[in-house]
Structures are given as structure tokens and as C-alpha cells.
Chains A and B, each alone.
Chain A
């Protein structure tokens, strides 16, 4: 346990030192503040919008941004250390390979969590301070969005670790990371939409569609945030969808957690067999 923490602490220290954490936190805070205070501009007013609007726009943006940050942070984690020669050295110490991988992952996940909670949390605090009327249920939805965002970031960090363990070359790992991002965040939904239109509802029923949506962590996150809370789904235009989706919030969070555990478990397995 202490070995894990020692390795995680080093990862966190390095990220703080090279301004990764500061830059990410500032970016997330800037986006969250912009969306909460200027989000209503398209409707002709500048001022604090309803927090539900913020949740809808912020979670839509998170789907694009956070996986990218997570993959950028993680694709180099294993292959980069092997490249620099520090991995050989690290493994000559009294540490197990799974401890190295898990320790580093804990560090990176903590960085994502720190940046997300602080960045989005500051926007929430600013909303509260500006005196906007926000009900307890809305706060709950906002908190759930922050929590699920951390989980989404962790899932893509785990995917980045898998890419980093899979290959011997940093460039290839970076390529896989970009492909993962494009695939899960952009192409998957387009493909799904195309499939639905082409199929015309003949073979793809609601159950299969649900399964297909759960097969993508970004979609699981979207479903969780846009259909999980009634007052949010009304604004997101997904109220109709919400009544169709038979997957509860707990299951969606479970799916996201599985998207953290499965790639990470596979990465640990591959790493323990890798020839360094």
C-alpha cells in the first residue's frame, strides 16, 4: 500500500511541478465560469443562467475535453518511462509491476480529480456567491456531474495506460490515444446515428441501442448527466429520451467504473508480461 502511495505521490509532484495541474485546473475553471455566466448569451441576455443550463452545456463540453486531457496525460506513462530508462531502474527496486502501474494510475487519476473538482467546483461556488436561486436537487445534479466527470477522466486515463502498455514506441502510443479519442468521442455517435437511420428501426431495438450506448464511456456519461435528473433533461431536450432509457443512474455509474477497471486490469496484465 505504501509503495502505491509513494509512486502516486511522485506522479502528482511531477505534474504539479511542470504546471500540468495548474494549466488543466485553470482551463476547466475558465470554461465552467464562462458557461455559467455567459451561457445564456444566445438567448439575448447576459447574466447568470439557470444552473441546469450550465450542467447541460458543461457536461457536453466535458465529453470532448476531459477524455483528451486524460489521454494526453496518460499515453506516455509506461512507454515514456521505458524510453527514458527509469522503468528498468524502477523495476529493479523492491516493487511489483502491478504496484508501479496502479501507483502511477492513482497519481494521474488524482490529478484529473483535483483539476475537475477545483475547476468546476469554483464555478459552482461563484454561482452560489452571485446569489442565483439554486434548489437542492439542482446542486445534487451539479455534484453528480462533477463526480461522473472524474470517473470519465479516470476511464480515459485507464484507456491511455492500455495504449501506453501495448506498444514499444511513444509515437505509436500517441497515435492510439488520438484514435481512441476520435473513435469514442466523435465517430462512435455518428456511426450509431448512421446505423439507426439506415436500419430504420427494423433490427435495432431500444435494448440493443442501450447496450450500444453503454459500450462507450462517453455515451454512458452523457446518458447519466442528461437523463439522470428530471429538471436537467427538460432543458437538454432529452426528456423524451429519458423516459425511454431503462438504465438507472447507478448502472450508468457502474458502467463508467467498469470502463476504468477493465482497461486498467488489461494494462496490468500486459505490463506484467512485457519484456522490458
Chain B
């Protein structure tokens, strides 16, 4: 596996009229890497994907996909190795699933003989494949859309909000397919709002806000950067909250939650010390739970303070 980045974005900006959709973004995606891009609507995620697909050209900066310019006339060779699952796609309702996939396979120059295997991989039954797309459920349509994105074994895969409207079981099988692809060396770029489900799926998270990249790094790196408090939840045996407050008080904020649970918030570095103090000279504890800041909280943190990360700390985060 080569260690050259499959996608390289250097100082790319995209302006529509006076409005910047993407502003000064640097990004490098490696083979076999699953990167999640998060940010609210209008943060520049879709604009960035369109640039990478070569549907639009950057106003400033340079962008290469698989070593070439995706918007150039010679981009056909690149596009044959790229898969794309758009955010909203409504295939023609009066055409069957098989005909739809055949059409896209022919356009991509892929033999249609491999399509049944692809349908099986995304979990579309042969009976469903022979039916018209108009009769499909949301989940089936999304599976069909994924099948077309997987045509020809792409080396780069763009998934724009792939799991919106899918039930948890479907989502699970969806991420299993993504993990298989990543392990096979495909670069996967995933856009999502559903941050919690990205935990454990993405190797790296890129946070976008108002066209800028505001954070980039693994979940652990971002956690360190955000310095969000870790919360320790205790279920006390005797319910003596005041006693706990007296003994543990300093260095941790204390909140009472429903069901007699007490929550202590502390900095990540103080976590181990605090747990030791609770265990050694705290009150009797029936249950203990340590809650790491979730992706949602980190995301909110980075969006609240878009300038919190200077270029220096960004470089740090990327390492």
C-alpha cells in the first residue's frame, strides 16, 4: 500500500459570488483511512466534496485526487476509481433496482456480471432487485445508492450523510461494509450529523465551520485539545451526598442527577487521582461510571470557539 495521500487539498477556497463556501482548507487523506467530516448545514462539507469530485473548481488553491485534477478533461480515469453516495438521491421510480445499477455500471465501464454480488453485499434481496425503485423503502433505496457507489471497487469513496433515516440494524451493517473497504485500502470520507455513531468508525475527525477547517485529528487528540471535563457518576450506598462533597469537594464540580446518582466533573488529568480518592477514603459506592466527553460535546465545543485553535495547535492535532 502506497503512503502517498489519495486526496490532497492545499489552501483551497471556493467562492460563490461574494460568499465563501470553503475558505483556506488544507487536508490530506491517506489510503485505508476513514475520515469523518462534521459540521452543521452550510459549513462547507458538501462544497468540499463537490470540489473533490471535480463538479466545481476551486477559486484558490490546489486539489488533487489520486494524483490528478478531478475537474480536468482527463479526469475520466480518476472518476472510474471514485465512488460517491450523494446526500439525497431519488432514482427514477419506474426503473427496477437491477436496471438502475446496470446503467451506472455501464457508465463506469464495469461489467454488469458483478452486480448480483454487489446487491448481496449491500443486502438487497434478488426479489427486491427485480422490483421498481418506486416501491422501495428508504433503507432499500439507500442500499441501492451504496451499491452504485461501490461499483468497480473504488479507491476513494465519498459518503454524504449516508445513514440519515436508516434504522440502527441497517446502520450497523452499513458501517461494517465501510470498515471492510477501509481495511482493503480505500480512502473513505464520510460526512455526518449523527456524531455519536461515528465513534469507533472514524480514524480521524475533521470539524468544519463556516467554510473553515476548525479541528482535525483522532478522537483522542481532539479530546485532549478540547479539554472538556470528564464526568464520574457515582451511585452512593447511603445517599450521603453532603459527606461526599466534604471529602472530595475540591477540584471537582458536583451535580445531583436523577435516581440518587451524583456526577463529578473534573479535568482529564485529575481523573485517576479523583477515582483513587473515592475508592480509598470516599463513602461506600454501589456503582461507578466514567463518562468521556462525547463527539457531540466536542463538536459543540469546537463550533462555539471557531478561533480557539490557531494554526499551531491544528498542526499539533494533525500529528
Contacts and interface: CB of A to CB of B under 8 A. Distances in A.
A275 B58 CA distance: 12
Contacts of A1: none
**B106, B107, B108, B148, most chain A CB atoms within 10 A:** B107
A3 B76 CA distance: 12
B303 to A, nearest CB: 26
Contacts of A10: 95, 103
A80 B97 CA distance: 20
B127 interface: no
B173 interface: no
Interface residues of A, number: 22
A91 interface: yes
Interface in A127-148: none
Interface stretch (B86-94, B115-123, B252-260, B306-314): B86-94
A17 B134 CA distance: 12
Contact of B87 (A18, A85, A96): A85
A76 to B, nearest CB: 12
A91 B75 CA distance: 11
A197 interface: no
A106 B94 CA distance: 20
Given A6-B106, A92-B84, A276-B55, A17 B89 contact: no
B109 interface: yes
Contacts, number: 65
A88 B107 contact: no
Main secondary structure of the interface of A (DSSP, over half): helix
B94 A85 contact: no
Nearest to A97: B55
A276 B90 contact: no
B86 A89 contact: yes
B80 interface: yes
Given A17-B95, A18-B94, A85 B88 contact: yes
Contacts of A92: 53-55, 79, 82, 84
B136 interface: no
Contacts of A201: none
Nearest to A99: B107
A84 B76 contact: no
Contact of A85 (B55, B80, B86, B99): B86
A3 B109 CA distance: 9
B56 interface: yes
B314 to A, nearest CB: 29
A1 to B, nearest CB: 13
A14 interface: yes
Contacts of B91: 86
Contact of A94 (B87, B88, B94, B109): B109
A102 to B, nearest CB: 14
A89 B84 contact: yes
A5 B66 CA distance: 29
Contacts of A96: 73
B118 to A, nearest CB: 16
Contact of B99 (A13, A88, A89, A95): A13
18 contacts: A3-B107, A6-B107, A17-B95, A84-B89, A85-B88, A88-B50, A88-B89, A89-B89, A91-B55, A92-B79, A92-B84, A93-B79, A93-B108, A94-B77, A95-B107, A275-B16, A275-B56, A276-B50
